[in-house]
C-alpha cells in the first residue's frame, strides 16, 4: 500500500524548518520505505496529488534528491502553517515536480518539438504554472530511490529487469494511470530510454492505451550530455507524432 503524507506527517514535523535539506537529514531510517541490497527507497511527498483530467502525462523514473528536498521542505513549511494534508499534497507536487535544471530542460525540449503549439499555449512553461490543469507528472517509482546514496538513473540495475523496482510500476504507477479520466487522449512523455522501455512493455501487455507514447524524448538531466544531439535526431518524428494527437 502506498505511503502518504498521512503516514509521515509527525516525522516531517521533527525536521528543522528550512528551505532545503542535505542527505544526512533525509536519507535516514525515519523515511526509509524499502531496501534491497544497495538499493534504498525513501519517502518523498510530491507524488500524491493526481490530476485526473490531464492531457499531458510526463513520466520520470524516480524523484531525485533535489526534488525530495524541495518537497520535504514544502511539506514541513505548510504543516507548520496548519494547511490540510490535501492542500499540502498539491503544494508539494507543484513545488517538487522536476524542480531545478531538469524542469527548465524539459520545457525547452517540449517547446522545441512544438508541443506548445499543439496545446495552444505560449510555452510549455505554462504547464508548470497557469495551465497545470492539463499536466500530470509522475515517477515510475513514486519515492526517491538511491544506489549507495546516489540518485538511481534507471540503470545498474536496469529498471525493466529489476523485480524489486518493477513492483512499484505495477502497484503504483498503473494505479495512477488507471485513475485518469481520458486515457485514450493522454500524451505519455517518458523522460529517457529507461522509462520509454517500461512504457513500451506495459503497452505490449495491454496495460496502457496503445499509440500514446512519445518515442525518442531524451532524459532532461544536465548529466545527459547527449540530450541535444538525441533531440535533434528524433525531433522531426516527435513533431509528426504529436501533431497527429
| Cα–Cα distance measured from residue 171 to residue 163, given in angstroms and rounded to the nearest whole number | 12
Q: Give domain status of residue 146, yes or no.
A: yes
pLDDT digits (tens, 9 = 90+) for 166-206: 999 999 999 999 999 889 999 999 999 999 999 999 999 99
Look up residue 213 and give its DSSP letter: B
Q: Give domain status of residue 167, yes or no.
A: yes
Give whole-number Cα distances, 26 to 50, 222, 225, in Å. 24, 23, 29
Q: Give domain status of residue 50, yes or no.
A: yes
Which CB contacts under 8 angstroms, 24+ apart, belong to 202-206? 202/169, 202/174
Q: How many domains does the chain have?
A: 1
Q: Give domain status of residue 72, yes or no.
A: yes
Q: Give domain status of residue 221, yes or no.
A: yes
Residue 217 has pLDDT above 70, yes or no: yes
pLDDT at residue number 227: 92
| Cα–Cα distance measured from residue 114 to residue 95, given in angstroms and rounded to the nearest whole number | 25
| Nearest of 75, 86, 105 to residue 10 by alpha carbon | 75
Q: Give domain status of residue 6, yes or no.
A: no
Q: Give domain status of residue 1, yes or no.
A: no
Q: Give domain status of residue 223, yes or no.
A: yes
Its domain, for residue 140, covers: 24-243
Residue 225 has pLDDT above 90, yes or no: no
Whether pTM exceeds 0.75: yes
Chain CA centroid to CA 87, Å: 19
pLDDT digits (tens, 9 = 90+) for 124-154: 999 999 999 999 999 999 999 999 999 999 9
pLDDT at residue number 1: 67
Q: Where are the beta strands (DSSP E) in the chain?
A: 32-36, 39-42, 56-60, 135-139, 144-147, 150-151, 187-190
Q: What CATH number is given to the structural domain containing 206? A: 3.40.470
Amino acid at each position: 500500500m502506498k505511503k502518504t503524507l498521512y503516514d509521515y506527517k509527525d516525522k516531517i514535523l521533527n525536521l528543522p524548518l528550512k528551505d532545503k535539506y542535505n542527505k544526512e537529514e533525509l536519507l535516514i531510517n525515519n523515511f526509509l520505505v524499502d531496501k534491497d541490497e544497495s538499493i534504498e527507497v525513501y519517502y518523498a511527498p510530491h507524488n500524491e496529488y493526481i490530476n485526473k483530467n490531464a492531457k499531458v502525462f510526463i513520466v520520470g523514473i524516480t524523484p531525485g534528491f533535489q526534488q525530495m528536498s524541495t518537497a520535504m521542505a514544502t511539506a514541513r513549511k505548510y504543516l507548520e502553517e496548519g494547511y490540510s494534508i490535501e492542500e499540502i499534497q498539491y503544494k508539494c507536487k507543484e513545488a517538487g515536480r522536476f524542480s531545478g535544471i531538469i524542469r527548465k530542460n524539459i520545457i525547452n525540449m517540449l517547446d522545441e518539438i512544438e508541443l506548445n503549439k499543439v496545446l495552444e499555449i505560449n510555452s510549455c512553461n505554462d504547464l508548470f504554472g497557469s495551465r497545470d490543469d492539463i499536466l500530470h507528472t509522475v515517477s515510475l517509482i513514486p519515492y526517491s530511490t538511491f544506489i549507495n546514496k546516489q540518485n538511481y538513473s534507471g540503470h545498474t540495475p536496469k529498471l525493466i529487469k529489476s523485480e524489486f523496482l518493477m513492483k512499484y510500476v505495477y502497484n503504483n504507477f498503473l494505479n495512477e494511470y488507471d485513475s485518469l479520466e481520458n486515457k485514450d487522449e493522454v500524451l505519455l512523455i517518458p523522460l529517457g530510454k529507461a522509462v520509454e522501455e517500461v512504457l513500451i512493455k506495459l503497452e505490449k501487455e495491454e496495460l496502457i492505451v496503445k499509440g500514446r507514447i512519445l518515442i525518442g524524448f531524451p532524459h532532461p538531466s544536465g548529466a545527459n550530455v547527449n540530450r541535444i544531439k538525441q533531440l535533434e535526431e528524433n525531433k522531426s518524428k516527435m513533431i509528426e507524432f504529436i501533431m497527429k494527437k
